Amino acid sequence: MTLRFKLAALVLGATLGFSAPVMAQQPVNPTASSVQEQQLLDALKPGETISGRISIPDDNAADLQKPSNKDWMGFNLKVSDRVMGVALVGTLLALLVFFVVKGRLKIEAGRAGRTITRFNVFERTVHWTMAISFIALALSGINVAVGRYIVLPWLGYEAFGSLTYLGKLAHHYLAWPFMVCVVITFLMWVRHNIPNKLDLRWLKEGGGLLVKGKHPPAKKFNAGQKIVFWGVVVGGSLVAASGLLLMFPYFLDSATDWQLAQIAHALIASGMMAMILGHIYIGTVGTEGALDAMTTGQVDVNWAEQHHSLWLEEELAKGAVQRRGPGGEVTPAE
């Protein structure tokens, strides 16, 4: 049941243009000029709201004080923000330890100097559009969630305010290319990402990390990459769906639904950011020769043999190998 206090409506409703307030039986005297917000809040039972009267059809607009909002804020402060911090810092530390212990995964046979096309221009354009938009979304999202602890002390209020405003714009507009790219990525690579028995073997053998010189066979994408692919497709869809609800709250019934969407958005995004940190590590410093696949589109055949032996066999059968000159120029292999 909703409590209505004369004074609350008079004081707060005057600013918001509420019509005549209603008085209910309350332990505090609503006409006392000394009535305080805390007294009004103390008088509320769990789930109750202090509301005014409005003449527009949106009931939510009548709410003046909704103590349950504090549960949502408390959850964000105590859980969501911490989950995000642990996901990001924990993953970075784990990758650092992994790098220190294992070092860079080398092309064991050295570079052959002959390359094979791994991704065409279209695939690379989609990948980098998705990557750049995701990174901008991640950074602006992190700023909204925890920027007040880690950025504000550095920048001060004015610069932090401007940065956060620009970040919010970036977050709203770059969500669109990101969502489009997730859909295209799904359509473009789903046929290479259907799980099969080879993936179990790849996982059992730790992707070749457990025994040096022994690499489990893989087709175009190995089990680790399939996890990233499905993480991006499923995680990206969920983060997009919850983000759209936050952007267009009119589709939701109540403020509580919006709060649930916000919590889901923050938690799923945290998981995705941790996964993508691992992906960026593997695609850059972690594995020699991997980045070529997404820059030039060509990979060395010895890299392909080590990481994707079955895919290489299929491609060789099509005669798809090139020779690279010392200046990087490409000529067909004899």
**229 lies in the site for ligand HEM, by CB under 6 A:** yes
Shortest Cβ 216–ligand HEM spacing (Å) = 15
Quick check: 60 and 252 in contact, CB under 8 A? no
**40 lies in the site for ligand HEM, by CB under 6 A:** no
Three-state DSSP at 324 gives strand
**293 lies in the site for ligand HEM, by CB under 6 A:** yes
CA distance 271 to 138: 11
Number of helices (H) and strands (E) in the chain: give both, helices first. 13, 6
Quick check: 323 and 332 in contact, CB under 8 A? yes
Q: How many CA atoms lie within 13 A of 158 on its CB side?
A: 0
Residue 267 or 276: the one with the smaller Cβ distance to ligand HEM is: 276
**Residue of 284, 310, 313, 314 interacting with ligand HEM (CB under 6 A):** 284
Q: How many CA atoms lie within 13 A of 296 on its CB side?
A: 14
**228 lies in the site for ligand HEM, by CB under 6 A:** yes
Beta carbons within 10 angstroms of residue 263's beta carbon: 17
**98 lies in the site for ligand HEM, by CB under 6 A:** no
Residue 72 or 221: the one with the smaller Cβ distance to ligand HEM is: 221
Shortest Cβ 304–ligand HEM spacing (Å) = 9
List the x/- string, 174-203, binding to ligand HEM by CB under 6 A: -----------x------------------
Quick check: 126 and 191 in contact, CB under 8 A? no
**225 lies in the site for ligand HEM, by CB under 6 A:** yes
Q: Give the H or E element holding residue 323.
A: strand 321-324
Quick check: 59 and 50 in contact, CB under 8 A? no
The separation between CA 39 and the C-alpha centre of its own chain, rounded to angstroms, equals 41
**125 lies in the site for ligand HEM, by CB under 6 A:** no
Which residue is closest to ligand HEM by CB?
283
Residue 18 or 221: the one with the smaller Cβ distance to ligand HEM is: 221
CA distance 36 to 250: 33
Q: For ligand HEM, how many residues bind (rule: CB under 6 A)?
A: 21
**Residue of 92, 180, 285, 291 interacting with ligand HEM (CB under 6 A):** 291
Which residues, in sequence order, are CB contacts of 197 under 8 Å at separation 6+?
none
Residue 216 or 283: the one with the smaller Cβ distance to ligand HEM is: 283
Site for ligand HEM in 235-264 (CB under 6 A): none
Beta carbons within 10 angstroms of residue 137's beta carbon: 23
Shortest Cβ 135–ligand HEM spacing (Å) = 6
Residues that bind ligand HEM (CB under 6 A): 118, 127, 130-131, 134-135, 185, 221, 225, 228-229, 232, 276, 279-280, 283-284, 290-291, 293-294
